[in-house]
């Protein structure tokens, strides 16, 4: 295995690689075979403080650096990702349990986001606005917020960390990144290494590997960061938002989902089956946009279900390093147990298993369930694994009601032969994103990404990222002598 799991199993603070000083270690395991990949002594509250103070010191000079020089650093990062793509892919497979296909998918999108971050370095623009006062000039500058705290998740850690880290740095901010404990390399120190090798000045980016049990809310409450970018569950996101609000910080929250893929009576069923299988089972269903629910018009339900079940049965579960594998392991035993218990509960509530997968340690095979009672909480929660609920509806009104009957509002999709019918349907759904004749899982660098309801606050990507990681400053200039009322 590459030296990443030994060389990068440290904290990265103020340009130095060093062990944490906490009293215990984060153990990084391969979720497929249980192999110990790395052991990292956790960072303490004091080291959180050191990381934020380093970012604050370095940020001033970094913000004053010519934007073209900042752009050159990002360009070098992109070249390094391209040069090291094979090694990074191996990290993603071993640390996440993601398949080779998923690693290629994640890296491909990550490179696009780096290209967008490169563009963002030259994007901030100011304004000169008129004034009702003679001789006054109003200048509005767009400036970095200062320091951004980023908390990355375990499911798509390399992409979702870079998605905040790269543009925040491009726009002149300092960053402290806290990766998930299950993916400290892919979602944390690997990114620090890339920026270090690309020539980012020391202290601008810091990575702390730690745990809430050690630091409590120190990462959120620290006075230095002005923005916290968090990707994770809605339960934790609610807490992040509460703490940030209490400390007058901006929070950008990309949270969970309970997406539905809808098949109308005129849909291309073969295409809808392909989209639905991908939407549910990509990365074992550990994707916030994944289609937990597939809703099918009753008139085509029998044909769709037969084709859908047949395709699901072909999905090979096993070793993520095998190119034939589609379903790899879930990230840890807790996730595997949680998903298995959902299947058990659904069957106890009266559901029928059209496909009933087995669970072998962290490897959970696909399950397709139908007949889940309409009032079951299972239909309204996020399921982070390879389980799908298949339901029918009689008309579009019922379909809209079913799709919206969830506290989440992230993504979704509808399939129909009439594109405008699909768009009209999509506009009635309470989500931040919706797709016509496609999968529910999409992310593009210049399109606003985010959810409604319990699926988050704010948006990322493109101009939304510019708004997230910068602020405006009004400077007025009075030419000549102004008048005052007294």
Which distant-in-sequence residues (6+ apart) come within 8 Å of 24 by Cβ? 41, 42, 214
CB distance 290 to 259 below 8 Å: yes
Distance of CA 416 to the CA centre of its chain: 29
- Judged by DSSP in three states, 114 sits in helix
Burial class (CB in 10 A: 0-12, 13-18, 19+), 397: exposed
Count CA atoms within 13 Å of residue 121 on its CB side.
23
Residue 62 CA to residue 157 CA, distance in Å, equals 25
CA dihedral (190, 191, 197, 201) positive or negative = negative
Residue 290 CA to residue 276 CA, distance in Å, equals 9
CA dihedral (91, 97, 100, 106) positive or negative = negative
Which distant-in-sequence residues (6+ apart) come within 8 Å of 248 by Cβ? none
Q: Which two tokens stand for residue 201?
A: 């000045």
- Judged by DSSP in three states, 132 sits in coil
Question: In 157-263, where do the E strands start and end?
Answer: 174-178, 205-207, 227-231, 250-254, 259-263
Which distant-in-sequence residues (6+ apart) come within 8 Å of 94 by Cβ? 1, 5, 30, 35, 37
Task: Tell me which residues are annotated as active site.
Answer: 254, 288
Q: Which two tokens stand for residue 361?
A: 């340690």
- Order the strands of the 387-393 sheet from edge to edge: 352-355, 367-370, 387-393, 291-297, 259-263, 413-415, 435-436
Of 425, 419, 424, 418, residue with least CA distance to 295:
425
């Amino acid at each position: 295995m590459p030296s990443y799991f030994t060389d990068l199993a440290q904290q990265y603070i103020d340009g130095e690689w060093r062990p944490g000083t906490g009293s215990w270690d984060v153990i990084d395991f391969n979720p497929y075979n249980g192999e110990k990949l790395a052991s990292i002594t956790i960072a303490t509250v004091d080291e959180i403080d050191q990381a934020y103070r380093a970012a604050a010191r370095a940020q001033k000079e970094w913000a004053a650096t010519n934007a073209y020089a900042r752009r050159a650093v990002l360009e070098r990062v992109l070249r390094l990702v391209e040069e090291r793509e094979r090694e990074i892919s191996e990290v993603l497979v071993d640390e996440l349990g993601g398949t080779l296909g998923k690693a290629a998918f994640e890296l491909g999108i990550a490179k696009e986001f780096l290209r967008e971050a490169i563009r963002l370095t030259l994007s901030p623009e100011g304004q000169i606005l008129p004034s009702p006062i003679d001789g006054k000039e109003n200048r509005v500058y767009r400036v970095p917020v200062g320091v951004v705290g980023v908390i990355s998740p375990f499911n798509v850690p390399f992409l979702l960390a870079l998605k905040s880290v790269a543009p925040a740095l491009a726009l002149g901010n300092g960053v402290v990144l806290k990766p998930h404990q299950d993916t400290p390399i892919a979602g944390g120190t690997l990114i620090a290494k890339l920026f270090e090798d690309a020539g980012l000045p020391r202290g601008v980016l810091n990575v702390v590997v730690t745990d809430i049990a050690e630091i409590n809310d120190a990462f959120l409450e620290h006075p230095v960061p002005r923005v916290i970018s968090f990707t994770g569950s809605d339960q934790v996101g609610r807490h992040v938002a509460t703490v940030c609000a209490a400390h007058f910080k901006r929070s950008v929250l990309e949270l969970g989902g309970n997406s539905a893929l809808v098949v109308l009576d005129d849909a291309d069923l073969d295409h809808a089956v392909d989209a639905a299988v991908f939407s549910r089972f990509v990365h074992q269903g550990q994707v916030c946009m994944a289609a937990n629910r597939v809703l099918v018009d009753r008139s085509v339900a029998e044909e769709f279900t037969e084709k859908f079940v047949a395709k699901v049965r072909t999905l090979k579960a096993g070793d993520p390093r095998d190119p034939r594998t589609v379903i790899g392991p879930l990230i840890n035993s807790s996730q595997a147990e949680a998903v298995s218990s959902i299947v058990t509960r659904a069957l106890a509530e009266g559901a029928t298993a059209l496909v009933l997968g087995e669970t072998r340690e962290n490897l959970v095979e696909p399950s397709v369930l139908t007949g889940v009672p309409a009032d079951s909480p299972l239909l309204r929660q996020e399921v982070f694994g390879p389980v799908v609920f298949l339901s029918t509806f009689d008309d579009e009104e019922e379909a809209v009601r079913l799709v919206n009957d969830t506290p989440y509002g992230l993504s979704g999709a509808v399939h129909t032969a009439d594109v405008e019918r699909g768009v009209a349907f999509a506009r009635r759904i309470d989500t931040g994103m919706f797709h016509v004749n496609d999968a529910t899982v999409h992310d593009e660098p210049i399109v606003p990404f985010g959810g409604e309801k319990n699926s988050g606050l704010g948006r990322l990507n493109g101009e939304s990222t510019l708004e997230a990681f910068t602020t405006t400053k009004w400077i007025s200039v009075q030419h000549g002598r102004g008048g005052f009322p007294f």
